[in-house]
Structure 1
Amino acid sequence: MNTVFLLVVLVATAGWITSTVTLRVQSLQLKADRTERRLALVLDHFGIEEPELAGMDEVRALLMADREISAIKAYRRITGAGLAEAKLAVEALAVTVKKP
């Protein structure tokens, strides 16, 4: 009986901790998103363009050679972005790249 009770308490505590951490992470993500939007507005207001990262020429060259997967890998290596973010960024960049 004691073992079952302790197991239930442990599971309930783990659930509470998980939900608390999840809510905190979501709150921090919302704050980060809001800060990024505000920073973008400030940069736009002052006419400041974000400098391009070194190595993006390699990504463009790979896109021009129809090597999108290699371009995504290169983008991830250069920026440290995750797979989904890199895929979206490379697809957006592919629209601006003129293929021979």
Structure 2
Amino acid sequence: MDTTLLLLAGALVLALLLQFPRRNRPDGVSLKLAEIERRQRLIMDHLGIVDRGPALPGVRDHLARGDKIKAIKAYREATGVDLRTAKEAVEAIAEGR
């Protein structure tokens, strides 16, 4: 009886956990937005357009001093993007893209 009760409780917990959406699975809107951004980058690269981006307070100053970590932190605070996006953007700024 106790084993059956434990198995039923475990199955119930598992069923409840499966009801919650997974956060690491991008939804359709995120995928579409990523594709639009990719295509925009391709067009800009093809046309030779360099986007200097918005004036980001402190980012260029930190890069000038060689402090990439503080530049990434300043970029995240100014834009609200995730760490990976901020790192890629700061690296692009540092390379002059």
Superposition TM-score tier, normalisation by shorter sequence: 0.5 to 0.7
Kindly tell me: are residues 36 and 88 of structure 1, through their superposed partners in 2, closer, same or farther at Cα, counting changes over 3 Å? closer
Q: How many residues align?
A: 93
**Structure 1 moving runs of 4+ over 4 Å:** 48-51
From 7, 10, 13, give the equivalent of 1:11. Answer: 13
RMSD: 3.6
Q: 1:5-60 deviations in whole A, cap 9, x for unaligned? A: 43132233134224xx239943333233234446x38x86xxx987832335x211
Task: Tell me the TM-score normalised to structure 1 length.
Answer: 0.62
Distance 1:85 1:17 in 2: 30
Where in structure 2 are the equivalents of 1:21-60 lying within 5 Å? 21-22=21-22, 25-28=25-28, 29-37=30-38, 40=40, 52-56=53-57, 58-60=58-60
- Per the TM alignment, residue 80 of structure 1 is displaced from its structure 2 partner at its CA by 0.9
Unaligned runs of 5+ in 2: none
Unaligned runs of 5+ in 1: none
Relative to its length, the structure with more helix (as a share) is 1
Number of the residue aligned with 1:70: 70
Distance 2:36 2:90 in 1: 24
- Per the TM alignment, residue 84 of structure 1 is displaced from its structure 2 partner at its CA by 1.8
Distance 2:23 2:71 in 1: 35
Distance 2:54 2:76 in 1: 12
